Amino acid sequence: MGEADEAFVQAIEHRPKLSVAEDEGIPLIDLSPLSFSNDANTKNIDDLVVEIGNACKKWGFFQVINHGVPLEKRQKVEDAMRKFFAQPLEEKRKVRKDEKKAVGYYDNEHTKNVRDWKEVFDFVVEKRILMAASHEPEDKEVPETLNQWPDYPPELRESCEEYAREVEKLAYKLMELIALSLGLPASRFSSFFEDPTRFVRLNHYPPCPAPHLALGVGRHKDPSALTILAQDDVGGLEVKRKSDGEWVRIKPTPDAYIINVGDILQVWSNDVYESVEHRVMVKSEKERFSIPFFLSPPHYTMVRPLDELTSEQNPAKYRAYNLGKFLATRRQSNFKKLDVENIQISHFKVQELANELDGALSINKK
């Protein structure tokens, strides 16, 4: 990717600390109880639900093992993506995404208005999905998004599609466990995913000549409901610890997946669970690969706190927002640097609205 010019340079307060230690505290949860269905296993499932609930509250992140995703499916994708990213830039750009084509190859993405040190290939699990064309409320266009598959390597498409179907099964199992951890029926979230948006990204982080200045991905929160991440043994994912706000690195665990709560789940839970900031470090001599799977409801969903988790004593903390328009607004910053920070779920906080109204009233009184 060349030299780390100033487009990649983080503000001083957001630059990575190369000495950050890997944290052993991120919960590692064994999902093997899901493989058994006898009555004697009920307690194990109950314990599993408690573990996941605690992890979502304390960290917003956890790792899972014995998850049921065949290792060979993941290895096939990893092998194929290495071949794809090893190609010359002009070959990769034949399937380049842009503001009209929402999926494909891209190497100029920005997070928080700073360019990321990475290149990506995106695809949707469905052969096509509908996505809002723009963030403008009056724009009702919802065009189809179609995957762009490269000619090389020829096995990339099949390996990606097979892998995504396996991870999708894991995603729905986890959503059932998360529902139970919130005191809801296991199937509570099922209706949101009858027409889901399932999106997968292949990430490549090349060696960086200035890892003390740049980030593979800048600090951010995922706008999805749930994210399931496969990372290689190089590592580099850092999470902002809720207890003290310090950045801690997640130590890679062989054949594990890293799970994190997304913005949608934070809103659905009415802040019981929180979508936590995370970022990716880069290295000067090693490249890194990762594969996040993002699960979201369809574009027309109005995201709001669940009725069961609100009451007179605990009213809804967010006003409803249209997911498609929200994501269309977020996508703007992928392609160009904005003058302001991109939209966040915090902009829909009821208290934030109250403060804005108070401010407007005080101005009117002057």
Beta carbons of 163 and 148 less than 8 angstroms apart: no
For residues 123 and 312, give the distance between their C-alpha atoms in angstroms, rounded to a whole number.
Answer: 42
Is the model's pLDDT at 99 over the cut of 90? no
Q: How high does pLDDT run on average in the chain?
A: 88
* CA gap 276, 259 in Å, rounded: 11
What global pTM score does this model have? 0.90
pLDDT band at 363 (very low <50, low <70, confident <90, very high): very low
- Which residues have a Cβ under 8 Å from the Cβ of 307 and sit 6 or more positions away? none
**How many Å apart are CA 199 and CA 334, to the nearest integer?**
16
In sequence order, what are the residues at sequence separation of 6 or more whose Cβ sits closer than 8 angstroms to the Cβ of residue 312? none
pLDDT in tens, 159-206: 999 999 999 999 999 999 999 999 999 999 999 998 888 999 999 999
Q: Report the alpha-carbon distance of residue 243 to residue 256 in Å, rounded.
A: 24
Asked if 239 contacts 268 with a C-beta cutoff of 8 angstroms, the reply is: no
Instruction: Collapse the DSSP code of 35 into the 3-class scheme (helix H, G, I; strand E, B; otherwise coil) and give the result.
Output: helix
d(CA 136, CA 111): 21
Residue type, 45: I
pLDDT of residue 289: 98
Element (H, E) at 248: strand 247-250
Mean pLDDT for 146-164 is: 96
* 35-76 pLDDT, tens digit each: 876 666 777 999 999 999 999 999 999 999 999 999 999 999
- The pLDDT, as a whole number, for residue 272 is 98
